[in-house]
Chain A
Amino acid sequence: MSENILSVRNLTVKYISRETGVCHAVNDVSLDVKKGETIGLVGETGAGKTTIALSILRLLPMPPARIVSGEIYLQGEDLLKMPEGGMRGIRGGRISMIFQDPMTALNPIDRVGDQISEMIKLHLDLNNAQAAGKAAEMLEMVGIPSTRFNDYPHQFSGGMKQRVIIAIALACRPELLLADEPTTALDVTIQAQVLNMMKGLKNELGTSMVLITHDLGVVAETCDRVAVVYAGEIVEIGTADAVFEKKSHPYTVGLFNSLPDITGERKRLLPIAGLMPDPTALPEGCKFSPRCPACGEACTKGPVGLRLESGTHFVRCLKAGQ
């Protein structure tokens, strides 16, 4: 259980463009994903969550993106040093990704069944008929009757499209699934369905998962561990239980305070004051310091490292626990 499927080490990604300058999207991120584990990446829009996921598959648009430093190990192999041909075998075969917007992630002119079997033919040694049969199986597995194999994406609702995308992602039984806000574009009733289905399939296939979301409810529901991302840095990481129990970073506390509290006495939401810092001009010291209610003098001086809070729970804050 403790074997790491994926290890991201000191990943730094920048977007470099002539107009806007250098955008520090991901700064020195390290992350481990264990076999069968689900880890949640939580943070607001623009925090760099998707960039982390795309770096793992090396799907970042380059230029403008550039992976400045870091290593990404998939069971010991550094993906960033792998030739493009080898990467093609990894993508879809061993790591697959579910994208945020199901409405645009399917090719509008291909039959949904063919879009699933395209993936199967690329990674499994099957002929057309066998691949189509497997694709039909996958459709049934995500709860779509295989009679709809020959339908086009425009004949499907958003929730069904997302199911097709999940079917594509799981078709070759990948070791790791990167799910980038898989339920954000869906309405609430469908969200629960899709999440439950993903959880079930993940357990059935023994897949590890990186779940990117800004929905703390989804994290509580599905994740074993959680990493809170702010301005391209992991500011708090630990088991979901530990982080939810003892929120240590002021940003995490702020995130929870901006959720509605239906049982407590708090009547109003408490939003975090201010905005995320401009990624082209990040503050010195703690990136959260300009918005932090507990910010002290030391916080703005130098870079703040991750500090052990308890067990496997780490926090990037000088004030935490004081």
Chain B
Amino acid sequence: MARYVVKRLIFMIPVLLGVSFLIFVILFLTPGDPVDVILSGQVTEDVREAWRESRGLNDPFFVQYFNFIGGIVLHGDWGSSFVNGQSVTGDIMLRFPNTFLLACLTTVIACVIGILLGVFTAKHQNTWLDTSFSVVGMVGISMPQFWLGLLLLIWFGLNLKWFPVSGFDGPRYWVLPCVALGVQNAAILLRFTRTSVLECIRQDYVRTARAKGQTESVITWHHIVRNALIPIITTVGTLFGGALGTAMILEQVFSINGLGRLMVEAIAMRNYPVVRASVLILAISYSIIYLVLDLLYAAVDPRIKADFEGQSFFGRGRFFAARAKKTGHFPKGGGAHA
């Protein structure tokens, strides 16, 4: 298993290089000169040229790119903001925790509501309960996050004054944005959970458990839900990644100092170093999320675990196949069926 994790971490390097290159190309090709946006139009051409020169914007593309990568790899330097000259890592470390917290809370809400209701509706398939929750779920999925956010702001923030309308400084501030983002995620998760549970609910091994005289709650949570977990875990991971990436909209609505808002501002200002660093942070987050997902799959399903453990460093099973040839011994669970 450790071998698999190391392998996945190493494979993250080309992925991140690719992402950094793409974002670099996109920003390079984006029309608009940072100088025009950041310096006011009053300065002379000399000043503008000196500003460009000092930030390396006159260098050829590849020189700029390798300076960027080299800075990160060799010095841990992610670049300096065009606007205030400060290192971008400071800005990001200030903003990212807010976005991360928002995504975490949202995902927890979505999991609790979505999975519980998903299992419940699947167990009551084709009853009025199932139908009514399906309708509620459709409404939840169809409602744009920003619009729900605005409605919540107006009702609970402005009219009822139960919760503050902007900022992210404590639990009372967290409620409205997390609900706005969580409702849609919960609705999506409800549908995935319901489908996945329904697929398992008629399986033979569930009937076997019933024939053993097992109680209904153990049948539901142990035999059915644990087998239905793989698609549910995938959805949770995707929703969590999505919450990180799309938080910018709700951060705008609720004036939260998050990574999303930082990115939006940086894009408007053509503040390239901040955009690049933010995108890279998101890319690293996604890579880690998907690694965690794969490890969770292995924890849930012994067949997947056996598959991971049977993998060689650079391909499926070749390592063990070669070893088995030498020693005449097949590792347990190496994918070979008895």
> Taking beta carbons and an 8 Å cutoff, which residues of A are in contact with B?
57, 59, 61, 87-93, 96-97, 99, 101, 104-109, 118-119, 122-123, 151-152, 154-157, 160, 165, 168
Contact = CB atoms under 8 A, between A and B. Distances in A.
Nearest to B224: A107
17 contacts: A91-B211, A92-B211, A92-B212, A99-B207, A99-B211, A104-B204, A105-B205, A107-B205, A107-B209, A108-B227, A118-B212, A118-B214, A119-B213, A122-B214, A152-B302, A154-B337, A157-B337
B208 A99 contact: yes
B223 to A, nearest CB: 6
A165 to B, nearest CB: 7
B213 A160 contact: no
Interface residues of B, number: 25
B212 A119 contact: yes
Given A109-B226, A109-B301, A152-B302, A157 B338 contact: yes
A261 B289 CA distance: 64
A158 to B, nearest CB: 10
A91 B213 contact: yes
A182 B4 CA distance: 40
A89 B213 contact: yes
What is the predominant secondary structure among interface residues of chain B facing chain A? Answer: helix
Closest 4 CB pairs of A and B: A91-B213, A92-B213, A104-B204, A92-B212
A90 B212 CA distance: 9
Interface in B288-338: 300-303, 306, 332-333, 337-338
Nearest to A150: B332
Nearest to A87: B213
B205 A108 contact: yes
Given A108-B301, A109-B302, A155-B338, A97 B204 contact: no
Nearest to B214: A122
B161 interface: no
Interface in B197-216: 202-205, 207-215
Nearest to B302: A152
A59 B213 contact: no
B211 A59 contact: yes
Contacts of A154: 302-303, 306, 337
B208 A108 contact: no
A97 B301 CA distance: 26
Given A104-B205, A105-B204, 17 more contacts: A91-B211, A92-B212, A96-B211, A99-B204, A104-B203, A105-B207, A107-B208, A107-B223, A107-B227, A108-B227, A108-B303, A109-B301, A118-B209, A122-B213, A154-B337, A155-B338, A165-B208
